Amino acid sequence: MKKGEEIVVYTDGACSGNPGPGGWAAILRWGQHEKELCGFEPQTTNNRMELRAAVEALKSIRKKDIPIRIVTDSQYVQHAFTQNWIQGWIRKGWITSAKTPVKNRDLWEELLRLTGQLQVKWDWTKGHSDDCVNNRCDALARGQVEKHMKWL
């Protein structure tokens, strides 16, 4: 595949306290184009922010026929799709292997709906390491928390 023939999406979430105020961010790259998205929720969890970043990124993509590669530092998000956790949860009526309800089901269902309309591949990168785009995404997510914390 030639450069520019896939949309690469980096996502990250941050939370001050868990639960607490949280931020999410996504950086989308396609060829020479780049777009940054970010947002804030006053009371949330880190996992919700990781999911929200992926949901909002996919919702923003208008070109439905281009393959998408999502790069996340959340194994929670990546493994749900690459290790078929989500299919198991659905088979069991949204119950985990620990026999508890799946947390964040609303976001999982939205993410599942969005990925069903697109060609999505999931990759993992180590957070807080040498991946400069992941680090930028983390800074955007944390920046949302810092920006809004002074108003809470």
Integer Cα distance of 115 and 17 in angstroms: 30
pLDDT tens-place string over residues 63-114: 889 999 999 999 999 999 999 999 999 999 999 989 999 999 999 999 999 9
pLDDT of residue 136: 96
- Smallest Cα–Cα separation from 71: which of 17, 133, 115? 133
- Tell me the CATH number for domain 7-149: 3.30.420.10
Section 47-55 average pLDDT: 98
Question: In percent, how much of the chain has pLDDT > 90?
Answer: 84
Residues assigned a catalytic role: 12-13, 50, 73, 128, 138
Considering the chain, what is the average pLDDT of its residues? 93
- State the number of CA atoms in the 13 A half-sphere of 52 facing the CB: 19
What does the domain layout of the chain look like in residue ranges? 7-149
Could you tell me if 18 and 128 are in contact, meaning their C-beta atoms sit under 8 angstroms apart? no
Measured between alpha carbons, how far is 39 from 53 in angstroms, rounded to an integer? 8
pLDDT digits (tens, 9 = 90+) for 14-37: 999 999 999 999 999 999 999 999
Which pLDDT score, from 0 to 100, does residue 43 have? 95
- The alpha helices in the chain, defined as continuous H runs, are 46-60, 75-82, 85-91, 105-116, 132-149
Q: Rounded CA gap, 111 and 52, in Å?
A: 9
